[in-house]
Structures are given as C-alpha cells and as structure tokens.
Amino acid sequence: MSRIGKKPVNVPSGVTIVVGKDNVVSVKGPKGELKQNIDRDIIIEINDNIVNVGRPTDQIRHRAMHGLYRSLISNMVKGVTEGYKKEMELVGVGYKAANQGNILDLALGYSHNIIFEIPKELKVTTAQEKGKNPMIFLESIDKQLLGQVCAKIRSLRKPEPYKGKGVKFAGEVLRRKAGKSAGK
C-alpha cells in the first residue's frame, strides 16, 4: 500500500489545479504555472482545496505510479507558491563563478573557463565574498529541472575525497579519505 499516495494534497488559496484532456494536470499559482502528464490509469479527484490521487488496482505498476504522481503534484503546488532554492559552493584555490543573466561562467581549475547556459525557467545569482568560497544560488518553481541543472553543474568538477575540492552543495558533508601514510 502506498502511504504517500493516500495522503491528500492541500491546495493553498491563490492556487488553481485543473485536470485537462489526456490527463494533463495544470497547477497555476502566484509564482507561475506548471504542467505534468499523468498516467491514464491514475485517478485524480479535486474537492474544495484538497487533491486526492487514486489507483484502479493493486498491480505493481499502479502502486508505483500512485505515490509518484501524488509527490509530483505536491511538488508542483509547493513550487508555484514558495518556489525552490539550491545553493552550491565552489571549493578550491582559484575557483570562481560569475553570471551575466542566465549565462554562468565557471573557473574550475581547467585550462579554460566553462560557459554554462542556465535554462530560462531558472534564476541564477553568484556571490564571492573575501575569505569565503564562491557561491552559486539557483531558484525555480520546477523542482525536477532545478535538481537536474544542479547535478549537471556539480558534474563539471565533482568534489574529490582527499582535499574536498570541487563543486558541492552548501552544507553537504563529504566523505574524506586519509592520504598516503608515512613509512614504518
């Protein structure tokens, strides 16, 4: 039994949810609008300010989709009301980040700078204070797209386990390894 799928999604005031043809759920709120295709077998009921997600049978496929689509709808509602934010930190000597609009310019210890184009749905800002590591701040209403872009930026220079240099999420705890040990 999907425990997450059974939980109703509360819809705050100012947010409208519409289930269109071909099972496309559209969520509109103060920050924007998001759309998501829902599997044709999944049942979506909207009563007052509560959305319930149901499934027709207890097949493995239906059970898997039940919790998934409930979570996606919940994330969409939170995205159009509050939005999502991610902070990334560049750890390493000479590592820099700068942005002009949605173009991110990264110096990550390679022979050349990396120019990374951020999708227009995301808002990016960078900060570089003296004595602190450069930071990248990303904001969006779409949680999935935000996570995907953050993963792509992180993959440009993953944190290494010896010195911890690389691109990491703010607050992320890295597993560190001991270096070479001294001779006997």
So what's the pLDDT on residue 5? 86
- The rounded radius of gyration (Å) of the Cα atoms in the chain is 21
Instruction: Measure CA 169 to chain center.
Output: 12
Residue 175 lies in a domain: no
Domain that holds residue 21: 3-81
Please indicate, yes or no, whether residues 29 and 106 belong to a single structural domain of this protein. Answer: no
Residue 23: the pLDDT is 87
Mean pLDDT across 119-138: 93
Confidence of residue 132 (pLDDT cuts 50, 70, 90): very high
Q: Is 105 in the same domain as 160?
A: yes
pLDDT of residue 3: 84
Q: What is the CATH number of the domain that holds 12?
A: 3.90.930.12
**In percent, how much of the chain has pLDDT > 90?**
76
Q: Are residues 54 and 89 in the same domain?
A: no
Binning pLDDT at 50, 70 and 90, where does residue 181 land?
confident
Q: Are residues 128 and 159 in the same domain?
A: yes
Instruction: Name the strand (E) or helix (H) holding 84.
Output: strand 84-91
Q: Is the pLDDT of residue 167 over 70?
A: yes
Residues 114-124: pLDDT tens digits?
999 999 999 99
- Which pLDDT belongs to residue 170? 92
Asked if residue 75 and residue 12 are part of one domain, the reply reads yes
* 180 domain-assigned: no
Per-residue pLDDT at 113 exceeds 80: yes
Q: What's the number of domains the chain is made of? A: 2
Residue 181 lies in a domain: no
Q: Tell whether 92 and 108 lie within a shared domain.
A: yes
Q: Are 153 and 88 in contact (CB under 8 A)?
A: yes
Instruction: State residue 183's pLDDT score.
Output: 56
41: alpha, beta or left, given left = phi > 0 and alpha = psi -120 to 50? alpha
Q: Is the pTM of this model over 0.75?
A: yes
pLDDT the model gives residue 2: 59
Residue 47 lies in a domain: yes
Is 125 part of any domain? Answer: yes
Beta bridge partners of 44: 53
Q: Is the pLDDT of residue 1 over 60?
A: no
Rounded mean pLDDT of 11-32?
91
- Asked whether residue 120 is assigned to any structural domain, the reply reads yes
CB 75 within 8 A of CB 67: no
Domain contains 149: yes
